């Protein structure tokens, strides 16, 4: 009887721990839930957010999706780069090129909102990791 009770409590504790981690990942409190996603999954999430925030048309989504996918794939590849500074410079150049392409795809109003979204993300990152002065 004791063995069954201990086993049942162990299973309950393990299930509770796993469900807690799952909830943290789903609500954004997990350590880095986006890191476990594939580049395509991250792009789909980003497209959903941008479609809502920027009122993207289906044509715009079809033009933006490959840009985001390429950027996310290169970002993943750069995480393992031996020269982090060079990788960061390359990523900065890629983002600058993406911004130029986005400017041709989005309307002036959408592009302004896009820049606001990017600025808010930068502010969140500075708050989370501490900005450089």
Give the pLDDT confidence score for residue 22 in this predicted structure.
45
**pLDDT exceeds 80 at position 64:** yes
The pLDDT assigned to 21 comes to 47
Name every residue whose Cβ is closer than 8 Å to that of residue 85 and which is 6 or more positions away in sequence: none
Task: Note the pTM of the prediction, 2 decimals.
Answer: 0.65
Nearest to 51 by CA among 105, 87, 127: 105
pLDDT given at position 33: 58
Name the pLDDT band for 121 (thresholds 50, 70, 90): confident
Percentage of the chain surpassing pLDDT 90? Answer: 39
- Is 85 a residue whose pLDDT tops 60? yes
- Give the chain's end-to-end CA distance (angstroms, integer): 63
Name the pLDDT band for 127 (thresholds 50, 70, 90): confident
In tens, the pLDDT along 20-45 reads: 444 444 444 444 556 688 889 999 99
- b/e map 19-50, b = 16+ CB within 10 Å: eeeeeeeeeeeeeeeeeeeebeebbeebbeeb
- Give me the pLDDT at residue 75, please: 86
Residue 122: the pLDDT is: 85
Lowest-pLDDT choice from 9-18, 53-62, 67-76: 9-18
Banded pLDDT at 67 (limits 50, 70, 90) = very high
Report d(CA 69, CA 39) in Å as an integer.
6
């Amino acid at each position: 009887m004791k063995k069954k009770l201990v086993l049942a409590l162990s299973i309950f504790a393990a299930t509770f721990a796993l469900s807690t981690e799952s909830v943290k990942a789903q609500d954004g409190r997990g350590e880095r839930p986006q890191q476990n996603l594939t580049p395509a999954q991250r792009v789909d999430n980003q497209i959903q957010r941008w479609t809502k925030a920027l009122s993207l048309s289906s044509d715009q989504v079809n033009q933006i999706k490959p840009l985001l996918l390429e950027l996310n794939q290169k970002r993943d590849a750069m995480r393992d780069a031996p020269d982090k500074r060079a990788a960061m410079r390359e990523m900065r150049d890629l983002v600058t090129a993406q911004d130029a392409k986005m400017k041709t795809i989005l309307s002036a109003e959408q592009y302004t909102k896009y820049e606001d979204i990017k600025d808010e993300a930068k502010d969140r990152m500075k708050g989370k990791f501490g900005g450089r002065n």
